[in-house]
Amino acid sequence: MPSLTIQEVLHEYSAGPQTGVFTDGGCQPNPGPGGWGYVHVVDGEVVRHDHGHDPQTTNNRMELTALINAFSSLPEDADIDVYSDSELCVKTINEWAKAWEKRGWRRSSGPIANLELVQKLYALHLSRPNVRLKWIKAHNGWLWNEYADSLSTAWTRATL
């Protein structure tokens, strides 16, 4: 089933928080061509959004790229929630990265996948202490979560 366009998302959904930064990324197939996107909204109004495409990537790389671009778009004094439907990315930054950094960016079970992206995102996260990274269920019906999904899959439609 093809992903929804932004216009279809705005027509179909209305639930969820109306302030925050919502991110998504993925590829079809995994690995394969993929995309990422984020939308920053305040009181239901889009402040900014962005998206991109990679011809050969993985789901996790696109999720991390979406988060990196979202965090990079925020000033260091931002006070906002950033939402991702990648539980792996959220746990990586909120739970595991601090210990990995202390151990020289190693973990006992083997190498850290996408280390350069994890390090970049973790540094951005630390530089924005009032930005909270939160996990949300994918395709939960929240307007801005679905909007971010539409951005991340825009490359499959060739246009927004």
Active-site entry in 8, 11, 76, 139: 139
CA-based radius of gyration for the chain = 15
Q: Please say if 85 is a catalytic residue.
A: yes
Q: Please say if 81 is a catalytic residue.
A: no
| Nearest-10 Cα torsion for 16, 22, 28, 30 | -110
Active-site entry in 24, 26, 37, 125: 24
Active-site entry in 26, 34, 63, 146: 63
Active-site entry in 34, 35, 37, 149: 149
Q: Please say if 25 is a catalytic residue.
A: yes
Active-site entry in 16, 20, 37, 85: 85
> Which residues have CB under 8 Å from 31's CB, separation 6+?
56, 57, 58
Active-site entry in 25, 34, 35, 37: 25
Please report how many Cα atoms fall inside a 13 Å half-sphere around the Cα of residue 144, on the Cβ side. Answer: 25
Q: Please say if 77 is a catalytic residue.
A: no
Which runs of consecutive H residues, i.e. helices, occur in 28-130?
A: 59-72, 87-91, 97-102, 115-126
Give the C-alpha distances (Å, rounded to integers) separating 117 from 53, 97, 136, 150: 16, 12, 21, 23
Q: CA 107, CA 99: separation in Å to the nearest integer?
A: 8
Active site residues: 24-25, 63, 85, 139, 149
